[in-house]
Chain A
Amino acid sequence: MTAPPAAIEAHQGEGEDAIHPAPTRFLRRYVFSTDHKVIGRQFLFLGLVFLAVGGVMAMLIRWQLARPGVPVPILGRVLYGRSGGVISPVAYTALFTMHGTIMIFFAVTPILIGGFGNFLVPLLIGARDMAFPRLNMISFWTMAASTSVLTASFFVPLGTANAGWTAYATLSTTIGTPGVGQTMWVVAIYLNGSASVMGAVNYITTVIRLRAPGMTYMRMPITVWGFFLTSVLNALFVPVLAAGMVLLFFDRVFGTQFFIAGSTIRGGGDPILYQHLFWLFGHPEVYILILPAWGVVTDLLAFFARKPAFGYRVTVGALIAIVVLSSVVYGHHMFTTGMSPLLGESFMVLTMIISVPTALLFLNWLGTLWRGAMRLTTPMLFCVGLVFTFGIGGLTGLFLADIVADMYLHDTYFVVGHFHLIMAAALLLSSFAAVYFWFPKMFGRMMSERLGKLHFWPTFVALNLVFIGQLLLGYAGMQRRLYDPSVYDFLRPLLPLNRFISDTAYLLGAAQLVFVVNFFWSLFRGKPAEPNPWQVGTLEWTVPSPPPHHNFDRLPTVVRGPHELGSPEARARGKDWLAQDEIVEIVESAEESR
């Protein structure tokens, strides 16, 4: 369509086209590797381990809410021996703090952005590696350092952080949390953010500079758009969080008073400043996490509906609009802080405007499925499940965008249900879809379809029941982060609902064991994967599974978009897909040229 950027052509000769041999020493090859495929797997494993840890914490939280003060079976004796297996109030605050922290920063971020972002971006755009392979390695090891600090914080006097994952000042200053655990939390988040920014710089540069010839922006898989836009947000807004962490660190360690005010300890700072810094990062963070998921799902829906993605340009435009808007809506997290009416209503209207591009994205998903020829494979089931779940999660956001409704629903379980439908349900469904879809490319073996479906159904049903149940709790008025809701008379009738949610959550947890079994069984015993088991055209499927160290023997020249399924030129060759770099001898007619 358009000519490849000149910069890329200039690289064609020796630099970019040069193939470096794979390192032979174990440490260089598997531990301190600069290969994006190895780093991607490292991030994936790290994320999956922490997903399990965060998941167990969720189960403990649900235990306490369903059976307040009853000793936790089995695990309780190990974790809470001193209180006879009962979760104490302080342990409970640590649990919900670390559950949120781990899931967001140490599970979903490494799985989707670190793991799949690393593995996929160079392969999908036809590059040999990231633009800065060493920076990539440093990014992973910074993340690893961050996880070490976070893990160590559990073993210090007064225990780990317990000011909530949002760590609002002044609770997160020494007024509310004097222990060193909270300081270590601050350091861990700072390191984690540094790793994210390193990754973001790398992804952005890679996408801009290293696209294969012919891989125009409008021929990139939406997955790449997702990672690219996520990286833009990461590069812009994670530093804001880092700034907040630095100031909080100073308040905690050096006795400054950036965030400290009040009469217990006099101070000239402002706790609201922390909330601005946190949410100026925190709201884009929601999109940082969901954009890759949207990208993956948009591509996979097209692949398995055997149709081009509906409205590619509108989808890309919608994603860009969301990215821009996401930075000016964060105030809706602070409606109850008594912010100025003008500011409050501005944030309300801006937040509502985001629903338009989101609706376009959603409609395009439905458009992709319409008149398709769906193959309901395991990754496709997870994607369709996401469409359903995201529908509920997105629409319930409208309740919280409205200041009037938010006055009642703010800080209740309605908020918990809403953001779990997006950040937990939708992200998990898309992460699983990605694992099932790219596992053959990553590890050279197929995962079991039968176990995959056995994993999908209980996961999908339980996720929805759990989080819709939480929406109901919030509607009935139950606040977040209560150790024992039965302290309130008006919450006591909710105990049966809490029990139901908890029991469903245990089922959800148990269903993940099917995934673990499938993952490890397939890793060693799965059917060896062909180069292109799903019969789709994006570039990663044109190379062997797993790809060689240098990805492409010859850098591909891209001639068409990512989901040209069922095109006449493909049918002329007796199949319904064409690789993005496959040259077809027939003269292309003008209307088929993209």
Chain B
Amino acid sequence: MRIEIPPDVSVDGHLVDGVLGYLTWATGILFLVAVGVLVVSLVRDRARPGRATGAYTHGDRRRDQLLTLAVGLIMFFAVDAVLAARAHRALSDRFWRYPDGDPRALRVEVTARQWSWTFRTAGPDGRFATPDDVVTLGELHVPVGRPIFLKLRSKDVVHSLYLPNFRTKLDAIPGSTTRMWIEATTPGTYEIGCAQHCGTSHYKMRGLLVVEPEESYRAWLERAETDSRLRYDAAHPAAAEGWDWEHGS
């Protein structure tokens, strides 16, 4: 039986794995200590002939109360406070620092619908909602080593873009735009999942994230641009799903 976390191929995934590791150790130790105390009680403090009743203590002396409070607070500062501080740093330095003005960032508009993902990137003109946009269904191609800035929308119900190899997910919500960013470290093909129950075929809402070295990404982009241009229907611009990035359609 193999139970492993999917390989991490992102620049920031180690922050998540670090928290998971720390928590596993910290809670594991707390649990083992608690179970140890419980087992000692269970073995030693059983009723037997000549010992029919327990010690008559209420545990309400100042000493008892301070002891429990102290243990509670130590736990809070050793586990919760450490976690909160770590999370705050990780979020404000990395996950929530969006590559807004970063010229290297690849901007992607993600449209979720029952039951597929559509990805759109701006064409050579760098603007969205123009005929040279690259639109793909169910497959997102990105270069390695560049920030990928994703904005999400949904056409019908709430979906959730889930990237197990990047340790993150974000809901796509009808009526609003949500955003996230990732950066890949390793070329390869990774799975995109939907994490939010979105109807009968929720389980089929699978996509692929293809991470390529810059050169092969460029080659793919060229082909994809040609394809998208051929498919573009001026009478029907909405078919190339997306919006104009900043404002919405």
Give the B-binding residues of A (Cβ under 8 A): 89-90, 93, 162-164, 168-171, 175-176, 260-264, 267, 269-272, 305-314, 336-338, 341, 344-345, 348-349, 352-353, 355-357, 359-360, 362-364, 366-376, 384, 387-388, 391-392, 395-396, 398-399, 401-405, 407-408, 410-412, 472-473, 475-477, 479-485, 487-490, 493-494, 496-497, 500, 565-568, 571, 576, 594
Contacts and interface: CB of A to CB of B under 8 A. Distances in A.
Q: Is the interface of A mostly helix, strand, loop or mixed?
A: helix
B47 interface: yes
B20 A90 contact: no
Most buried by B among A175, A355, A374, A412: A374
B224 interface: no
A308 B57 contact: yes
B59 A311 contact: yes
Nearest to A90: B200
Contact of B156 (A264, A306, A401): A264
Contacts of A388: 35, 38
B56 A487 contact: no
B65 A314 contact: yes
A337 B199 contact: no
Contact of B157 (A171, A338, A364, A403): A171
Contacts of B197: 93, 163-164, 168, 171, 480-481
Contacts of A576: 52-53
Interface in B1-55: 1-6, 15-16, 19-20, 23, 27, 30-31, 34-35, 37-38, 41-42, 45-48, 51-55
B221 interface: no
Secondary structure call for the B interface: mixed
Given A405-B23, A412-B195, A476-B3, A384 B38 contact: yes
Contacts of B176: 261, 270, 272, 338
Interface stretch (B127-135, B138-146, B162-170, B212-220): B162-170
A580 B54 CA distance: 18
A405 B45 contact: no
Nearest to B194: A479
A398 B199 CA distance: 30
A320 B85 CA distance: 27
Given A337-B178, A404-B16, A89 B34 contact: no
Contacts of B80: 352-353, 355-356, 398
Of all A-B residue pairs in the complex, the 4 with the closest CB atoms, nearest first, are: A261-B175, A262-B174, A307-B54, A310-B59
A384 B42 CA distance: 9
B45 A479 contact: no
A356 B195 contact: no
Contact of B71 (A264, A363, A482, A490): A363
Nearest to B90: A404
A105 to B, nearest CB: 18
Nearest to A338: B178
A370 B41 contact: yes
A493 B41 contact: no
B177 to A, nearest CB: 8
A89 B174 CA distance: 24
Interface of B: 1-6, 15-16, 19-20, 23, 27, 30-31, 34-35, 37-38, 41-42, 45-48, 51-60, 64-65, 68-69, 71-73, 75-76, 79-81, 83-84, 86-88, 90-92, 95-96, 113-114, 154-158, 160, 162, 164, 167-171, 173-176, 178-180, 191, 193-204, 206
A472 B24 CA distance: 12
14 contacts: A93-B199, A168-B157, A171-B158, A262-B174, A309-B59, A348-B84, A355-B79, A355-B80, A366-B34, A368-B59, A374-B45, A391-B31, A399-B27, A402-B84
Contacts of B191: 488-490
A496 B1 contact: yes
B209 to A, nearest CB: 12
Contact of A372 (B6, B41, B160, B173): B41
A496 to B, nearest CB: 5
Given A171-B157, A374-B45, A566-B53, A405 B170 contact: no
Interface centre among B2, B20, B87 (most CB of A within 10 A): B87
A488 B193 CA distance: 8
A566 B54 contact: yes
Given A93-B199, A404-B15, A311 B157 contact: no
Contact of A395 (B27, B52, B71, B86): B27
Contacts of A357: 72
Contacts of A271: 157-158, 173-175
A311 B5 contact: no
Given A388-B38, A481-B202, A399 B30 contact: no
Contacts of B41: 366, 369-370, 372, 374
Contacts of B51: 373
Max chain A CB contacts within 10 Å: which of B45, B56, B60, B194? Answer: B56
Nearest to B58: A308
Given A479-B194, A576-B52, 10 more contacts: A163-B197, A337-B178, A338-B178, A401-B83, A402-B83, A402-B84, A405-B19, A408-B20, A411-B160, A480-B195
B200 A314 contact: no
Contacts of B154: 262
Contacts of B57: 307-308, 310, 371
Contact of A171 (B162, B178, B199): B199
B211 to A, nearest CB: 15
A308 B53 CA distance: 11
B170 A485 contact: no
Contacts of B19: 402, 404-405
Nearest to A410: B169
B77 to A, nearest CB: 10
Contacts of B38: 366, 369, 384, 387-388
Contact of A272 (B6, B173, B204): B173
Contacts of B204: 487
Given A373-B45, A475-B3, A313 B179 contact: no
Given A311-B60, A375-B47, A391 B35 contact: yes
A364 B60 contact: no
A312 B164 CA distance: 45
